[in-house]
Structure 1
Protein backbone atom coordinates (compact mmCIF):
# COMPACT_ATOMS: atom_id res chain seq x y z
CA UNK A 1 0.00 0.00 0.00
CA UNK A 2 1.46 3.41 -0.96
CA UNK A 3 2.43 5.77 1.81
CA UNK A 4 -0.06 8.61 2.33
CA UNK A 5 1.70 11.95 2.27
CA UNK A 6 0.32 14.98 4.07
CA UNK A 7 1.24 17.67 1.54
CA UNK A 8 0.35 20.56 3.84
CA UNK A 9 2.63 19.09 6.51
CA UNK A 10 5.39 18.75 3.90
CA UNK A 11 5.01 22.43 2.98
CA UNK A 12 5.22 23.40 6.66
CA UNK A 13 8.38 21.28 7.02
CA UNK A 14 9.97 22.97 4.01
CA UNK A 15 9.13 26.41 5.41
CA UNK A 16 10.60 25.39 8.79
CA UNK A 17 13.82 24.31 7.04
CA UNK A 18 14.00 27.60 5.10
CA UNK A 19 13.49 29.54 8.34
CA UNK A 20 16.22 27.53 10.09
CA UNK A 21 18.68 28.13 7.24
CA UNK A 22 17.93 31.88 7.23
CA UNK A 23 18.49 32.01 11.00
CA UNK A 24 21.80 30.20 10.64
CA UNK A 25 23.21 31.94 7.60
CA UNK A 26 20.95 34.69 6.33
CA UNK A 27 18.80 34.82 3.21
CA UNK A 28 21.54 33.58 0.90
CA UNK A 29 21.87 30.35 2.89
CA UNK A 30 18.33 29.28 1.98
CA UNK A 31 18.98 28.08 -1.57
CA UNK A 32 16.79 25.46 -3.22
CA UNK A 33 19.72 23.04 -3.02
CA UNK A 34 20.38 23.67 0.70
CA UNK A 35 16.68 23.39 1.52
CA UNK A 36 16.43 20.04 -0.33
CA UNK A 37 19.54 18.75 1.44
CA UNK A 38 18.44 19.89 4.90
CA UNK A 39 14.89 18.58 4.45
CA UNK A 40 16.14 15.24 3.16
CA UNK A 41 14.09 15.37 -0.06
CA UNK A 42 15.05 14.17 -3.50
CA UNK A 43 16.15 16.99 -5.81
CA UNK A 44 12.91 17.26 -7.79
CA UNK A 45 10.59 16.78 -4.82
CA UNK A 46 10.78 20.39 -3.68
CA UNK A 47 9.30 21.75 -6.92
CA UNK A 48 6.14 19.73 -6.26
CA UNK A 49 5.50 21.97 -3.25
CA UNK A 50 7.17 25.23 -4.25
CA UNK A 51 8.04 26.05 -7.87
CA UNK A 52 10.89 28.42 -6.99
CA UNK A 53 12.75 30.12 -4.17
CA UNK A 54 10.45 33.16 -4.24
CA UNK A 55 7.46 30.94 -3.44
CA UNK A 56 9.34 29.43 -0.47
CA UNK A 57 10.36 32.90 0.67
CA UNK A 58 6.75 34.12 0.44
CA UNK A 59 5.52 31.12 2.44
CA UNK A 60 8.26 31.64 5.04
CA UNK A 61 7.40 35.34 5.33
CA UNK A 62 3.71 34.52 5.77
CA UNK A 63 4.60 31.88 8.36
CA UNK A 64 6.71 34.28 10.44
CA UNK A 65 4.06 37.01 10.26
CA UNK A 66 1.38 34.48 11.25
CA UNK A 67 3.55 33.36 14.20
CA UNK A 68 3.93 37.00 15.24
CA UNK A 69 0.17 37.54 15.08
CA UNK A 70 -0.34 34.29 16.99
CA UNK A 71 2.09 35.50 19.66
CA UNK A 72 0.08 38.69 20.04
CA UNK A 73 -3.14 36.74 20.36
CA UNK A 74 -1.63 33.82 22.29
CA UNK A 75 -3.19 34.72 25.62
CA UNK A 76 -6.76 35.70 26.27
CA UNK A 77 -6.60 39.50 26.26
CA UNK A 78 -6.68 40.95 29.72
CA UNK A 79 -9.86 42.81 30.60
CA UNK A 80 -7.50 45.58 31.75
CA UNK A 81 -6.79 47.62 28.57
CA UNK A 82 -3.36 48.64 29.87
CA UNK A 83 -2.30 45.04 30.43
CA UNK A 84 -3.68 44.07 27.00
CA UNK A 85 -1.54 46.81 25.43
CA UNK A 86 1.53 45.71 27.41
CA UNK A 87 1.02 42.13 26.22
CA UNK A 88 0.76 43.16 22.57
CA UNK A 89 3.85 45.38 22.68
CA UNK A 90 5.92 42.75 24.48
CA UNK A 91 4.79 40.09 21.98
CA UNK A 92 6.44 42.01 19.14
CA UNK A 93 9.74 42.81 20.87
CA UNK A 94 12.74 40.44 20.81
CA UNK A 95 12.42 39.43 24.47
CA UNK A 96 13.47 35.78 24.12
CA UNK A 97 15.57 33.60 21.82
CA UNK A 98 12.61 32.54 19.69
CA UNK A 99 11.70 36.17 18.91
CA UNK A 100 15.35 37.12 18.31
CA UNK A 101 15.55 34.28 15.76
CA UNK A 102 12.26 35.35 14.19
CA UNK A 103 13.62 38.89 13.87
CA UNK A 104 16.58 37.54 11.91
CA UNK A 105 14.20 35.85 9.49
CA UNK A 106 11.94 38.89 9.18
CA UNK A 107 14.84 41.23 8.46
CA UNK A 108 16.20 38.94 5.75
CA UNK A 109 12.75 38.75 4.22
CA UNK A 110 12.15 42.52 4.50
CA UNK A 111 15.27 43.11 2.47
CA UNK A 112 14.11 40.63 -0.15
CA UNK A 113 10.65 42.22 -0.26
CA UNK A 114 12.15 45.50 -1.53
CA UNK A 115 12.52 43.87 -4.95
CA UNK A 116 9.46 41.62 -4.72
CA UNK A 117 6.14 43.43 -5.11
CA UNK A 118 4.10 40.52 -3.75
CA UNK A 119 6.13 40.32 -0.53
CA UNK A 120 6.15 44.11 -0.19
CA UNK A 121 2.34 44.19 -0.48
CA UNK A 122 2.06 41.39 2.08
CA UNK A 123 4.26 43.23 4.57
CA UNK A 124 2.51 46.58 3.98
CA UNK A 125 -0.83 44.91 4.73
CA UNK A 126 0.68 43.41 7.89
CA UNK A 127 1.99 46.83 8.99
CA UNK A 128 -1.39 48.47 8.39
CA UNK A 129 -3.19 45.78 10.39
CA UNK A 130 -0.59 45.98 13.18
CA UNK A 131 -0.93 49.80 13.36
CA UNK A 132 -4.74 49.54 13.47
CA UNK A 133 -4.70 46.93 16.27
CA UNK A 134 -2.09 48.84 18.21
CA UNK A 135 -4.01 52.13 17.88
CA UNK A 136 -7.15 50.43 19.19
CA UNK A 137 -5.23 49.06 22.18
CA UNK A 138 -3.57 52.43 22.87
CA UNK A 139 -6.87 54.33 22.69
CA UNK A 140 -8.47 51.88 25.12
CA UNK A 141 -5.46 51.93 27.47
CA UNK A 142 -5.34 55.73 27.59
CA UNK A 143 -8.95 55.73 28.78
CA UNK A 144 -9.72 59.22 27.47
CA UNK A 145 -12.51 58.21 25.13
CA UNK A 146 -10.34 59.01 22.10
CA UNK A 147 -10.99 57.24 18.82
CA UNK A 148 -8.25 54.93 17.51
CA UNK A 149 -7.53 57.42 14.73
CA UNK A 150 -6.91 60.39 17.07
CA UNK A 151 -3.61 62.10 16.19
CA UNK A 152 -2.01 61.41 19.61
CA UNK A 153 -2.97 57.73 19.38
CA UNK A 154 -1.71 57.32 15.81
CA UNK A 155 1.55 59.07 16.73
CA UNK A 156 2.10 56.73 19.67
CA UNK A 157 1.28 53.66 17.56
CA UNK A 158 3.87 54.80 15.02
CA UNK A 159 6.43 55.28 17.77
CA UNK A 160 5.84 51.78 19.15
CA UNK A 161 6.14 50.24 15.69
CA UNK A 162 9.34 52.19 15.00
CA UNK A 163 10.87 51.19 18.34
CA UNK A 164 9.84 47.57 17.82
CA UNK A 165 11.38 47.38 14.35
CA UNK A 166 14.53 49.08 15.65
CA UNK A 167 14.70 46.66 18.57
CA UNK A 168 14.43 43.73 16.17
CA UNK A 169 17.24 45.14 14.02
CA UNK A 170 19.58 45.74 16.96
CA UNK A 171 18.78 42.29 18.39
CA UNK A 172 20.72 40.87 15.44
CA UNK A 173 23.89 42.45 16.77
CA UNK A 174 23.19 41.08 20.25
CA UNK A 175 21.78 37.58 19.59
CA UNK A 176 22.62 36.60 23.18
CA UNK A 177 19.71 38.75 24.40
CA UNK A 178 21.88 41.43 26.02
CA UNK A 179 19.34 44.12 25.01
CA UNK A 180 16.32 42.40 26.54
CA UNK A 181 16.47 44.51 29.76
CA UNK A 182 16.58 47.69 27.63
CA UNK A 183 13.51 46.56 25.65
CA UNK A 184 11.62 45.71 28.83
CA UNK A 185 12.51 49.14 30.23
CA UNK A 186 11.04 50.74 27.09
CA UNK A 187 7.73 48.94 27.68
CA UNK A 188 7.71 50.12 31.30
CA UNK A 189 8.34 53.75 30.21
CA UNK A 190 5.65 53.49 27.54
CA UNK A 191 3.12 52.31 30.10
CA UNK A 192 4.09 55.00 32.64
CA UNK A 193 3.89 57.79 30.05
CA UNK A 194 0.81 56.52 28.22
CA UNK A 195 -1.42 59.37 29.35
CA UNK A 196 0.97 62.19 28.35
Structure 2
Protein backbone atom coordinates (compact mmCIF):
# COMPACT_ATOMS: atom_id res chain seq x y z
CA UNK A 1 0.00 0.00 0.00
CA UNK A 2 1.46 3.42 -0.94
CA UNK A 3 2.40 5.76 1.87
CA UNK A 4 -0.05 8.63 2.37
CA UNK A 5 1.76 11.96 2.51
CA UNK A 6 0.30 15.09 4.08
CA UNK A 7 1.50 17.61 1.50
CA UNK A 8 0.54 20.66 3.56
CA UNK A 9 2.47 19.32 6.54
CA UNK A 10 5.46 18.61 4.32
CA UNK A 11 5.38 22.17 2.92
CA UNK A 12 5.26 23.56 6.49
CA UNK A 13 8.26 21.41 7.44
CA UNK A 14 10.21 22.74 4.47
CA UNK A 15 9.28 26.34 5.34
CA UNK A 16 10.36 25.75 8.95
CA UNK A 17 13.69 24.48 7.64
CA UNK A 18 14.08 27.63 5.51
CA UNK A 19 13.45 29.75 8.61
CA UNK A 20 16.11 27.82 10.52
CA UNK A 21 18.64 28.29 7.72
CA UNK A 22 17.89 32.00 7.34
CA UNK A 23 18.27 32.45 11.11
CA UNK A 24 21.68 30.74 11.08
CA UNK A 25 23.17 31.78 7.74
CA UNK A 26 21.02 34.50 6.20
CA UNK A 27 19.22 34.25 2.91
CA UNK A 28 22.39 33.80 0.87
CA UNK A 29 23.21 30.76 2.98
CA UNK A 30 20.08 28.93 1.84
CA UNK A 31 20.81 26.35 -0.84
CA UNK A 32 18.44 23.67 -2.05
CA UNK A 33 20.87 20.99 -0.88
CA UNK A 34 21.20 22.50 2.61
CA UNK A 35 17.44 23.01 2.76
CA UNK A 36 16.77 19.38 1.90
CA UNK A 37 19.26 18.26 4.55
CA UNK A 38 17.78 20.61 7.16
CA UNK A 39 14.27 19.31 6.43
CA UNK A 40 15.48 15.71 6.46
CA UNK A 41 14.72 14.95 2.81
CA UNK A 42 16.69 14.12 -0.29
CA UNK A 43 17.31 17.05 -2.61
CA UNK A 44 14.85 15.71 -5.19
CA UNK A 45 12.11 15.38 -2.57
CA UNK A 46 11.64 19.18 -2.56
CA UNK A 47 10.64 19.38 -6.23
CA UNK A 48 6.98 18.32 -5.82
CA UNK A 49 6.45 21.10 -3.26
CA UNK A 50 8.50 24.01 -4.56
CA UNK A 51 9.86 24.62 -8.06
CA UNK A 52 12.81 26.73 -6.98
CA UNK A 53 14.41 28.72 -4.20
CA UNK A 54 12.34 31.83 -4.93
CA UNK A 55 9.11 29.89 -4.53
CA UNK A 56 10.34 28.57 -1.19
CA UNK A 57 11.24 32.10 -0.07
CA UNK A 58 7.80 33.39 -1.08
CA UNK A 59 6.25 30.60 1.00
CA UNK A 60 8.50 31.48 3.96
CA UNK A 61 7.47 35.14 3.72
CA UNK A 62 3.79 34.26 3.40
CA UNK A 63 4.09 31.99 6.41
CA UNK A 64 5.61 34.84 8.44
CA UNK A 65 2.67 37.05 7.49
CA UNK A 66 0.19 34.29 8.33
CA UNK A 67 1.81 33.75 11.74
CA UNK A 68 1.67 37.47 12.45
CA UNK A 69 -1.97 37.65 11.36
CA UNK A 70 -2.96 34.66 13.49
CA UNK A 71 -1.28 36.15 16.57
CA UNK A 72 -2.85 39.54 15.87
CA UNK A 73 -6.36 38.08 15.57
CA UNK A 74 -5.89 36.32 18.90
CA UNK A 75 -4.32 39.35 20.61
CA UNK A 76 -6.96 41.77 19.31
CA UNK A 77 -9.96 39.59 20.13
CA UNK A 78 -12.95 41.91 20.56
CA UNK A 79 -10.86 45.04 21.07
CA UNK A 80 -11.40 48.05 18.83
CA UNK A 81 -9.86 51.45 18.18
CA UNK A 82 -6.43 52.28 19.56
CA UNK A 83 -6.30 49.17 21.74
CA UNK A 84 -6.74 46.96 18.66
CA UNK A 85 -4.28 49.07 16.66
CA UNK A 86 -1.63 48.85 19.39
CA UNK A 87 -2.06 45.07 19.62
CA UNK A 88 -1.74 44.68 15.85
CA UNK A 89 1.45 46.75 15.85
CA UNK A 90 2.90 44.72 18.72
CA UNK A 91 2.45 41.51 16.75
CA UNK A 92 4.34 42.97 13.77
CA UNK A 93 7.14 44.43 15.91
CA UNK A 94 10.18 42.21 16.67
CA UNK A 95 9.60 42.15 20.43
CA UNK A 96 10.67 38.55 21.11
CA UNK A 97 12.69 35.76 19.53
CA UNK A 98 9.78 34.49 17.41
CA UNK A 99 9.01 37.91 15.95
CA UNK A 100 12.73 38.63 15.54
CA UNK A 101 13.06 35.46 13.45
CA UNK A 102 10.08 36.60 11.39
CA UNK A 103 11.85 39.93 10.89
CA UNK A 104 14.93 38.06 9.60
CA UNK A 105 12.77 36.26 7.06
CA UNK A 106 10.91 39.42 6.06
CA UNK A 107 14.02 41.60 5.70
CA UNK A 108 15.77 38.87 3.69
CA UNK A 109 12.69 38.64 1.48
CA UNK A 110 12.66 42.40 0.82
CA UNK A 111 16.03 42.22 -0.90
CA UNK A 112 14.69 39.64 -3.34
CA UNK A 113 11.40 41.49 -3.80
CA UNK A 114 13.27 44.52 -5.13
CA UNK A 115 14.06 42.59 -8.31
CA UNK A 116 11.21 40.10 -8.52
CA UNK A 117 7.71 41.45 -9.30
CA UNK A 118 6.04 38.27 -7.98
CA UNK A 119 7.73 38.66 -4.62
CA UNK A 120 6.99 42.38 -4.59
CA UNK A 121 3.30 41.57 -5.18
CA UNK A 122 3.24 39.23 -2.17
CA UNK A 123 4.75 41.98 -0.02
CA UNK A 124 2.35 44.62 -1.37
CA UNK A 125 -0.62 42.37 -0.63
CA UNK A 126 0.46 41.88 2.99
CA UNK A 127 1.02 45.60 3.51
CA UNK A 128 -2.30 46.47 1.89
CA UNK A 129 -4.05 44.12 4.30
CA UNK A 130 -2.29 45.62 7.33
CA UNK A 131 -2.93 49.17 6.08
CA UNK A 132 -6.63 48.36 5.72
CA UNK A 133 -6.78 46.92 9.24
CA UNK A 134 -4.96 49.92 10.65
CA UNK A 135 -7.24 52.43 8.95
CA UNK A 136 -10.24 50.45 10.24
CA UNK A 137 -8.88 50.66 13.79
CA UNK A 138 -8.17 54.35 13.36
CA UNK A 139 -11.72 54.98 12.08
CA UNK A 140 -13.07 53.19 15.17
CA UNK A 141 -10.77 55.27 17.38
CA UNK A 142 -11.90 58.47 15.68
CA UNK A 143 -15.58 57.53 16.15
CA UNK A 144 -14.91 56.81 19.84
CA UNK A 145 -13.11 60.14 20.33
CA UNK A 146 -9.70 58.50 20.85
CA UNK A 147 -8.24 60.23 17.80
CA UNK A 148 -8.84 63.92 17.33
CA UNK A 149 -6.16 65.13 14.92
CA UNK A 150 -6.76 66.20 11.36
CA UNK A 151 -4.26 63.76 9.84
CA UNK A 152 -6.08 61.36 7.48
CA UNK A 153 -6.22 57.79 8.78
CA UNK A 154 -4.47 56.47 5.66
CA UNK A 155 -1.52 58.78 6.31
CA UNK A 156 -1.33 57.68 9.94
CA UNK A 157 -1.39 54.02 8.84
CA UNK A 158 1.43 54.72 6.37
CA UNK A 159 3.48 56.33 9.15
CA UNK A 160 2.91 53.33 11.42
CA UNK A 161 3.83 50.86 8.68
CA UNK A 162 7.05 52.76 7.98
CA UNK A 163 7.91 52.74 11.69
CA UNK A 164 7.21 49.01 11.97
CA UNK A 165 9.47 48.26 8.99
CA UNK A 166 12.14 50.39 10.63
CA UNK A 167 11.81 48.45 13.87
CA UNK A 168 12.30 45.19 11.96
CA UNK A 169 15.46 46.39 10.22
CA UNK A 170 16.92 48.12 13.26
CA UNK A 171 16.22 45.20 15.60
CA UNK A 172 18.39 43.08 13.32
CA UNK A 173 21.16 45.59 12.63
CA UNK A 174 21.35 47.58 15.87
CA UNK A 175 19.62 45.44 18.50
CA UNK A 176 21.21 47.33 21.40
CA UNK A 177 19.39 50.50 20.26
CA UNK A 178 16.16 48.79 19.25
CA UNK A 179 15.15 46.98 22.38
CA UNK A 180 11.53 45.95 22.92
CA UNK A 181 11.16 48.74 25.49
CA UNK A 182 12.41 51.37 23.05
CA UNK A 183 10.20 50.02 20.29
CA UNK A 184 7.15 50.18 22.55
CA UNK A 185 8.03 53.71 23.67
CA UNK A 186 8.41 54.88 20.06
CA UNK A 187 5.07 53.32 19.14
CA UNK A 188 3.40 55.01 22.10
CA UNK A 189 4.84 58.34 20.94
CA UNK A 190 3.37 57.80 17.48
CA UNK A 191 -0.02 56.81 18.87
CA UNK A 192 -0.02 59.78 21.25
CA UNK A 193 0.59 62.11 18.28
CA UNK A 194 -2.73 61.02 16.84
Q: TM-score, normalised by structure 2?
A: 0.89
Structure with greater helix share of residues: 2
Counterparts in 2 of 1:176 and 1:18: CA distance versus 1, 3 Å: farther
Instruction: Flag structure 1 segments of 5+ consecutive residues without an equivalent.
Output: none
Look up the SS of the partner of 1:94 in the other structure.
coil
CA displacement at 1:29 relative to structure 2: 1.4
Q: Matches of 1:30 and 1:176 in 2, distance apart?
A: 27
Matches within 5 A, 1:126-165: 126-143=126-143, 151-165=151-165
Q: Is the 8 A contact 1:95 1:177 kept in 2?
A: no
Superposition CA RMSD, Å? 2.1
Equivalent position SS for 1:66: helix
1:63-97, Cα deviation, whole Å (9 max, x unpaired): 11111222221235344522112111111111111
Q: Is the 8 A contact 1:100 1:175 kept in 2?
A: no
Which stretch has the larger CA shift, 48-57 or 157-166?
48-57
Residue 192 of structure 2 corresponds to: 192
Distance across 1 between alignment mates of 2:77 and 2:190: 19
The answer to whether the 8 Å contact 1:96/1:177 transfers is no
Gaps of 5+ in 2: none
Which range moved further: 66-75 or 55-64?
A: 66-75
Q: Is structure 2 residue 123 aligned with structure 1 residue 123?
A: yes
| Cα separation, 2, equivalents of 1:69 and 1:176 | 27
Provide, for residues 82-131 of structure 1, a one-character-per-residue CA deviation record: whole Å limited to 9, x for no partner.
Answer: 21121111111111111111101100011111111111111112112211
The normalised TM-score by structure 1 is 0.88
Shift of 1:151: 5.0
Aligned length: 190
| Cα distance in 1 between the residues matched to 2:176 and 2:102 | 14
Show the 5 A alignment for 1:37-76: 37-76=37-76
